[in-house]
Structure 1
């Protein structure tokens, strides 16, 4: 049975970009499975502002998000998807062009599109025909009344359904009980623990994506104090942040809440990292080592991990050998950051600043030249020249990325979406 999803919705109409981004980040960290962010404004300026907001939100969250927007032409769907959205919701009530939706479906796939209907539209139109005609793969149904009528209507569909509901009149458990419903989109859980809600659903037999330990704590090998050491590591960079200890209570609390909770040996009490400083560690993954005596926690770290204000507790060098750091992701990120800093803080005589000063046409010309050099070098049986030309191209490509406001996270997310 597929897990039911909790999909908070964010109405971005008449909202500041910063407010939308902040709320999206809160939801993502507090247990949401996906987000539904929408603004159905028709005027061009507002639509462009919304696209910019989606891009900013996408950079700040690590969960999928669906975008609801006014669709007048194919480009509207394309722009929304290019923000990083996993799908686009088109609202039937204001849908300008079915042809544009059909074109988007043929280009990106029907699973990238949802049709939003009110309950009245749901019962008064041939929903299956609409979905098939525009080749849309999903349905967003809003403001429903639960009961046999709804259940019977849903059973006739062979598509994924999201119910959008404020949960004022309807019960979450009832909405989740419909087999065709893949998720509930609501604003009811703003400033609430979604992980807690999920655990309540699990207790009622509803399958949801909540943390459950694959190995019972009783199988862990503990030290003489009944505790197990935990190494906290940044889930993106693999940087080691800190080491602390858990007893069974702390471990269970961590799994329950999704926030790293330790046992303070100095204070002899439970300690949720961040309760005092705000520098929470949100669980992304927990691993047990081969001897079952150490936990590796991959976390989303807010702020600094160390009480000194340093990002990591491991900032004091004891012994160090000079070596080349050839981790591809780290090298590309560091090179990108240097280029971005050159744009922000120009340096006299810098070739990078020369490219930025000349502008986009010069940068594009260099990218084209370097791409051609790769083709020529690839015809040579020796690999040395090819490595040199690819490195040249990557540098100029990163200059272009900085100039256009694209970073490696954007690229990695897009590649991941294509898997």
Structure 2
């Protein structure tokens, strides 16, 4: 049985949340990021975000709003709706969506699904309908999708072949549907009103034998060794870059709150109260893993860090260097970032005679020409049995690619995040 997901659906027009596909009234202030964070904090596991755009400009606005919400909240999103061609599927996935949503009420969608499935696999595509589905039409698409989101569900044997995401209008309806065998998620227009205490409800379903998305600690607070103040030191690390971000302390309430909410929560020794990281700044830390050391007296938390970890605005609290060995780790991704920073500095502060500035002065066409030439050089070098040449050519390629990145305003962090989404 697949993990059951407490789900929330949002409809998007011009980058704002609206009431429904038929009602374009903006809900509250329409801010997608704020509402995703609110519902995620309440315990929702999955967000279905339907793009109701009517033209390409609005399509881009909605995709940017989806990308911003994912970046700022680390939410699991199935996004889409406005899929007319393969490029639309690609845009939703590249925006950070776990799956692209294809509206099968649109005619002639099969070609886009065929191409999308061939490139990304059908596991990255789910279908959506807000009508009663024509079973004959759906049967032709079964091999192209990994699930279906249905607003008006009618029992039909064809649906038993697919993981379902169904809409509920009442708590009883929600409870009945989430317990159905092939239902993976249930959603409402306002899931939090149907389930006022989502976390307790998830624990109840877990006790009944349904797999749920909850953090379960293998150790209880009493298993941990505390310091003289009755607190547990916590080292916090970025789960992608492995950079050490900060150190703080937890008491029992902070530990239990972290496990319950999935957001790093600490105990302030100076203020002597609980504090949720990011509650004031918006720089939340979402838990990816918790590990205890060999003595059970120090916790290591690997997190998704939103914004800066340090109150000074630095990415890490450990930015004051005391000593550094001359032989630095040449294999570190810091090398790429330092070269990038030099190129960025040349862009902002041109230096006479600089090859980098020559490329910027000549413009995007010259930069692209050089990137293309270096790609060709890599191919030629790869035919040489001596690996030294290909190292040289790949280094040249990376340099020119970084010039292109600076020219287009793309950072290494954005590349790391995109690669991490493809793990």
Whether these two folds match at TM > 0.5 is yes
Q: Which consecutive unaligned segments of at least 5 residues does structure 1 have?
A: 145-149
CA contact (8 A) 1:38 1:68 kept: yes
Alignment check: 8 A CA contact 1:279 1:304 kept: yes
2:14 counterpart residue number: 14
Q: Which residue of 1 aligns with 2:25?
A: none
Map of 1:242 onto structure 2: 246
| SS across alignment from 1:121 | coil
1-structure distance, mates of 2:65, 2:33: 7
**2:80 matches 1:68:** yes
* TM-superposed deviation, 1:183: 1.6
2:141 alignment counterpart: 131
Deviation at 1:394, TM superposition (A): 0.8
Structure 2 partner of 1:157: 160
Does the 8 A contact of 1:6 with 1:184 survive in 2?
yes
Retained in 2: the 8 A contact 1:199–1:210? no
- Residue number in structure 1 paired with 2:182: 180
For the 8 Å contact 1:31–1:193, the answer to whether it is kept is: no
Distance 1:114 1:25 in 2: 23
Query: How far apart are the structure 1 equivalents of 2:232 and 2:15?
Result: 46
Rounded Cα–Cα distance in structure 2 between residues aligned with 1:252 and 1:221: 16
* More divergent stretch after superposition (222-231 vs 70-79): 70-79
* Residue aligning to 1:389: 393
Q: Does the 8 A contact of 2:202 with 2:214 survive in 1?
A: no
Establish whether residue 212 from structure 1 lines up as the match of residue 216 from structure 2: yes
Name the CA distance, whole Å, in 2 between partners of 1:183 and 1:369: 49
Q: 1:403 to 1:11 in 2, by over 3 A?
A: farther
What secondary structure, in the 3-state scheme, does the structure 2 residue paired with 1:94 have? coil
Higher mean alpha-carbon deviation, 290-299 vs 155-164, is at 155-164
Partner of 1:4: 4
1:29-108 aligned at under 5 Å gives the runs: 32-57=44-69, 59-60=71-72, 62-108=74-120
Q: Is the 8 A contact 2:40 2:75 kept in 1?
A: yes
Among 336, 341, 346, the residue aligned to 2:340: 336
Q: TM-score, normalised by structure 2?
A: 0.80
Q: Tell me how far apart the structure 1 counterparts of residues 80 and 246 of structure 2 sit (CA, whole Å).
A: 40
Answer yes or no: is the 8 Å Cα contact 1:28–1:62 preserved in 2: no
Query: C-alpha distance in 1, partners of 2:267/2:408?
Result: 46
Tell me if the contact between 2:166 and 2:186 (Cα under 8 Å) persists in the aligned partners.
yes
Instruction: Provide the rounded CA distance (Å) in 1 between the counterparts of 2:350 and 2:195.
Output: 47
SS in 2 for 1:245: strand
Q: Deviations over 1:122-173 (max 9, x none)?
A: 4x644652433x73332111155xxxxx5x53685211111245x5576433
Pairwise CA distance, 1:57: 4.6
For 1:293, the equivalent position in structure 2 comes to 297
C-alpha RMSD over aligned residues: 3.6
Partners of 1:254 and 1:74 lie apart in 2 by 40
Q: Check 1:104–1:310 CA distance in 2 against 1; reply closer, same or farther (3 A cut).
A: closer
Shift of 1:82: 4.0
Inter-partner Cα distance in structure 1 for 2:410 and 2:188: 31
Following superposition of structure 1 onto structure 2, how do residues 358-377 of structure 1 map, counting pairs within 5 Å?
A: 358-377=362-381
How many equivalent pairs are there? 407
CA distance in 2 between partners of 1:227 and 1:42 (Å): 55
Q: Which runs of 5+ in 2 are unaligned?
A: 18-29
Matches of 2:407 and 2:132, distance apart in 1: 45
Match of 2:199 in 1: 198
Aligned to 2:351: 348
> Would the aligned equivalents of 1:155 and 1:180 in 2 still touch at CA under 8 Å?
no
Counterparts in 2 of 1:241-320, with a 5 A limit? Answer: 241-275=245-279, 279-302=283-306, 304-306=308-310, 310-320=314-324
- Give the deviation of 1:180 after TM superposition: 1.0
